[in-house]
Amino acid sequence: MKKKLLALIFGLVVMFAFTACGSSDSGDSGDSGDTASKELNVFMWSDYLSDDVVADFENETGIKVNLSYMNDNADSINKLTAGAGDEYDLIMTCDAYMESLIKGGYLEELDLSQIPNSENINKAYWSEENQKYCIPYLMNYIYVVYDTERCPIEITCYNDLIKPEMKGQLGSIDGARNLFPIALIALGYDPNSTEESEIAEAYEWLKKYNDNVVAYGSTETNIVNGTISAMLTYDGNTAEAMASMGDNNTLTVAPFKEDPVQLGFDLYVIPKGAKHMDAAYAFLNYITDPEVMAKNLIDNPYSCPNDAAVAAASEEYRNGPAFDFDYKENIFFQEDVGDAIKIYDKYYQKLKVDTGE
Amino acid sequence: MTASKGRAKGTNRLPLLAQAGPVSLWMILFVTIPMLFIIFISFMTRGTFGGVEYTPSLESYQTMMEVTYFHIIVKSLGVAAETTIACLIVGYPFAYYIARKPPATASRLITLLMIPFWTNSLMRLNAWMLIFQTNGPVNNFMLKTHIVDQPVTFIFTDGLVLLGLITNYLPFAVLPMYSSIEKLQKPILEASADLGAKPSVTLLKVTLPLTFPGIFSAIILTFIPALGTYVITDMLGGGKVLYIGNIIKNQFGTIRNWPLGAAMSVLLLAVTALMIFLYSRFAKVEDMEVV
Amino acid sequence: MAERDKLNRKQKRDRRRKIPWTIFAALVYASFYIPVLVMILFSFNDAKRNYSWMGFTTEWYPKLFSFGNHDLWESLVYSLVIAILATVISVIIGVLGGIGLKKFEFRGKRFINMMLFVPIVVPEVVMAVSMLIIFMIVGIKLGLGAIVIGHCTFCIPYAVIIIKGRITGDNETLQEASMDLGANRIQTFLKVTIPSIMPGIMSAAFLSFTLSIDDVMISNMLAGASQSTLPVLILSVNRTGITPDINALTTIMVIVMLFGMVVMNIMQRIHNKREARIMAESDARIQAARLAAEEY
């Protein structure tokens, strides 16, 4: 009996010690009273927000910004759905997850009157429903880029990617919901299809695609060091790759004629129970300021839904070769496919098992 | 009366509680309970917006019966087996080499084996990529010396994946084998030699059987972690093939099907239990060498 | 003479036989250290990201110490704090547990012994996810505390098993002698037991520290709001390509830790020598006393 009691007490002490330790770590949380917050906890991609912008914000407002980084879109979803959202004040996620997050009740509704600069954001990229819950930050086109000197063919549509000439030439980003849409489009279906028969056809198409792919991920590294000569990738990563090739740049964005390309958004949301809402609003208003965002774009040359900021941005950014393509309006979005995600997952796994034999 | 009895008992029990208590409690709180919970979740349903719905179902296990998963499991077992065999072939002679050194040198050699782990494993994997990439030093050297005319593709091949896996798991195979070889008593080996046994016979009939517990724990310590790995295979293999580790990670990640991820984890737990059971047939589990 | 010749020849033959062994061991070590050397080399790469070698520069080292890089330093300090906490806790619990599990028989001991193998063999993903879920349910806040618990959970088993292996019959005899001489349990524990298993404690600490500093998976899952460990930061940077300043930081870290280990080794050796001298002196004194006694 005594043994059990002692064990229990010890257990409680250990637990208490660690929870206390944990909470003291996150600083002066919980004081969401009248006083303004002195810190802001942000969870987002690394290398995606200029250090100078953060420093300027800290100097101007006296709010300390704690950045922590995710490695996968899933990280932010996991934090939110496992109930750890309230540890943060701002979380970055992407448009494809918005519907689930809103319906699941994981997000705080935004008061846009506190973010007057949000007026600068192009409403075409910011749906009515999303306006209540998120602020679009940067966006990226998922398109095809190839090396004009080394790539055996000129690529003008997705079907070019599965030609036998492309074997051993192709690099690609990964993920079921990035790969299946291009196959569905190549076959003439809705990129967000929930029909199993269409997804199954897309799987057959992707098998040929997969045969040509050398590696998934690290596309820009592989194209710069000559392992691949064409890639399905993001515009920002392309900008990095082109910049690192400097004057010897032979990369070009594929001149697509008809096929639409995917446009994805990275957005900031305020998780339910966030402790420094005022600081979060202050930051969102700061980052949507055209001048600030223009400065941020120097370090992070991605496409930006903030029209005023793009107008204020440097010539170099606006004329960057990674954005030199004329089908910016011919786009599709990744939508939440609900339970059909299981179908996608099934065929995605099948895709990654059948090959390599 | 009862109080004094309690105290008497307490004084007897105190050293036991103070010494074995913390570790027992820790293991129960942070190992047993989480593992039980994983097993519990595997019998539930996927929540529509992520998370878990607490409706009992066998769906996850039914899904795992599908042929795709069978292939994935077979592939994962294959890679883990290759890694383990390679680690044994390289690790056993290496452990033997270290064990024959004087103790001070041996412990220094072991330390030397662990120090690279101070750099992050991702950095080391990246270094392998840089060495073997298309315009990397190995290819440049072979082109310059005209060993080849065209750059050879090393990266994203099975060979490089295996190299990455071996360099990551070898120390964990060497440590237990080293411990059991070190415990081998010289007189036994000498006796075998004196009785006229050839070195190869001594190795097969004396050394190997006596160090078997070390070999078996080396197998467990490389096989099971290798079974669940995905970072190494993704980075060095180009992410073209999925393994059990990928599936688990994806289920808890973008796919948000926690029960299926949990069920796959239970499968790994079962393999672990099976191997430890097999081990217990040959030697006492408590005496298993891991370091 | 002939005898000696024979011996010499035998020695030579032995040495020659050792050569392939030495080459083999050198190759194994090479496979461990070549990536580390390449990693160091690329801290001098004149490129924004380490896609390939672009030329030599030392600019990344001064840049590392400039303002913009506080993220990297913060995460390094965070990793070290976690590693040290995890090491200390694991070693304390490991020493107690190792002794306790060796010395006492109690109900459930077999079970605990089995449980110790679970964190060692179960794939990290499974450990990480199960802990995340449990921590969320129990209400343990993610962050430093949670990561330390996570790291301890896979370090403690190693510590316990190392310590268990170090306890032999001799230790128990020594302990009994100490108790017979009137020392209480705690004194005996601190003055006799601990020193007698010191080498085990050192290797348990070394292994715990190494495992903690290398961990990605558990640190990533259990990371809190304000900071991430260096490996987690590296994982997230890896998405777009490792930058040479990370190589520079890792290089500095390894060199500093190596230096620390060498210093500790030297201190240990000096300590051992002093102890040996004291022993020798006391031996001499006893001898002298005995001689004096005999003379008397």
- Give the pLDDT score at A18: 47
Test mutation, B59, B129, B254, B260, chain A, max A CBs within 10 A: B254
Looking at the domain assignment, is residue B7 inside a domain? no
Chain C contact set for B116 (CB, 8 A): 32-33, 35-36
* Together in a domain, C164 and C205: yes
* Together in a domain, C24 and C103: no
The CATH number of whichever domain residue B115 belongs to comes to 1.10.3720.10
Place of tokens 């300590």: C271
- Using CB atoms, pick whichever of C49, C71, C141 lies closest to residue A22: C141
Domain of B230? 67-287
> Cα(A133)–Cα(A113) distance, rounded to whole angstroms?
13
What proportion of chain A, given as a percentage, has pLDDT over 90?
A: 48
Token digits of residue C162: 């190392």
| Highest mean pLDDT pick, A69-73, A77-81, B142-146 | B142-146
pLDDT at B180 over 80: yes
Looking at the domain assignment, is residue B174 inside a domain? yes
**Mean pLDDT across the stretch B246-275?**
84
**Mean pLDDT across the stretch C272-288?**
77
Averaged pLDDT of chain A: 85
- Give the pLDDT score at A27: 40
* Together in a domain, C28 and C163: no
Number of domains in chain C: 2
- Bigger pLDDT: A2 vs A173: A173
Confidence of residue C263 (pLDDT cuts 50, 70, 90): confident
- Give the pLDDT score at A108: 92
Number of domains in chain B: 1
- Give the pLDDT score at C7: 66
* Together in a domain, C78 and C33: no
> Cα(A247)–Cα(A74) distance, rounded to whole angstroms?
37
Q: Coil, helix or strand for A49? A: coil
* Nearest-Cα residue of chain A relative to residue C235: A71
**Mean pLDDT across the stretch C251-278?**
83
Protein fold of A140-263+327-354: D-Maltodextrin-Binding Protein; domain 2 (3.40.190)
- Give the pLDDT score at A356: 44
Q: Do A140-263+327-354 and A36-139+265-317 have the same topology in CATH?
A: yes
Confidence of residue C285 (pLDDT cuts 50, 70, 90): confident
* CB half-sphere exposure, C39, CA atoms < 13 A: 29
C76-80, C95-99, C192-196: segment of lowest average pLDDT: C192-196
* Nearest-Cα residue of chain C relative to residue A28: C226
- Give the pLDDT score at B291: 65
Looking at the domain assignment, is residue C271 inside a domain? no
pLDDT at B49 over 80: no
Looking at the domain assignment, is residue B17 inside a domain? no
**Mean pLDDT across the stretch A108-119?**
92
* CATH superfamily, region A36-139+265-317: Periplasmic binding protein-like II (3.40.190.10)
B25 touches chain A (CB under 8 A): yes
> Cα(B260)–Cα(B68) distance, rounded to whole angstroms?
14
ipTM: 0.82
Looking at the domain assignment, is residue B60 inside a domain? no
**Mean pLDDT across the stretch A222-226?**
88
Phi and psi dihedrals of A133, rounded to 5? Answer: -125, -15
- Bigger pLDDT: A243 vs C272: A243
Confidence of residue B9 (pLDDT cuts 50, 70, 90): very low
**Mean pLDDT across the stretch A83-109?**
86
* Together in a domain, C170 and C84: yes
- Give the pLDDT score at A115: 93
A242-256, A272-286, C129-143: segment of lowest average pLDDT: C129-143
A257 touches chain B (CB under 8 A): no
> Cα(B46)–Cα(C265) distance, rounded to whole angstroms?
54
Looking at the domain assignment, is residue C282 inside a domain? no
Domain of C21? 1-42
The CATH number of whichever domain residue C94 belongs to comes to 1.10.3720.10
Looking at the domain assignment, is residue B111 inside a domain? yes
Pairing, β A261-269 against β A90-94: antiparallel
In one-letter notation, the amino acid at residue C76 is L
- Give the pLDDT score at B279: 82
Looking at the domain assignment, is residue C54 inside a domain? no
Residues A273/A86, Cβ–Cβ less than 8 Å: yes
Confidence of residue C161 (pLDDT cuts 50, 70, 90): confident
pLDDT at A20 over 60: no
Contact: A22, C226; criterion CB under 8 Å: no
pLDDT at C253 over 80: yes
Looking at the domain assignment, is residue C77 inside a domain? yes
- Give the pLDDT score at A12: 44
Phi and psi dihedrals of A137, rounded to 5? Answer: -105, -75
A194-203, A219-228, C4-13: segment of lowest average pLDDT: C4-13
What proportion of chain A, given as a percentage, has pLDDT over 70?
A: 89
pLDDT at A138 over 50: yes
Q: How do the domains of chain A map onto residue ranges?
A: 36-139+265-317, 140-263+327-354
Chain C contact set for B243 (CB, 8 A): none
- Give the pLDDT score at B92: 92
User: Given C245, C266, C289, which residue is the final one in a domain?
Assistant: C245
| DSSP 8-state secondary structure symbol assigned to residue C168 | -
Pairing, β B52-53 against β B45-46: antiparallel
Looking at the domain assignment, is residue C253 inside a domain? no
Phi and psi dihedrals of A307, rounded to 5? Answer: -60, -40
Contact: B117, C254; criterion CB under 8 Å: no
pLDDT in tens, A270-308: 999 899 999 999 999 999 999 999 999 988 888 999 999
List of residues 6+ apart from A235 with CB closer than 8 A? A140, A141, A143, A302, A303, A322, A323
B239 touches chain A (CB under 8 A): yes
Confidence of residue A24 (pLDDT cuts 50, 70, 90): very low
- Give the pLDDT score at C12: 73
> Cα(A250)–Cα(C189) distance, rounded to whole angstroms?
71
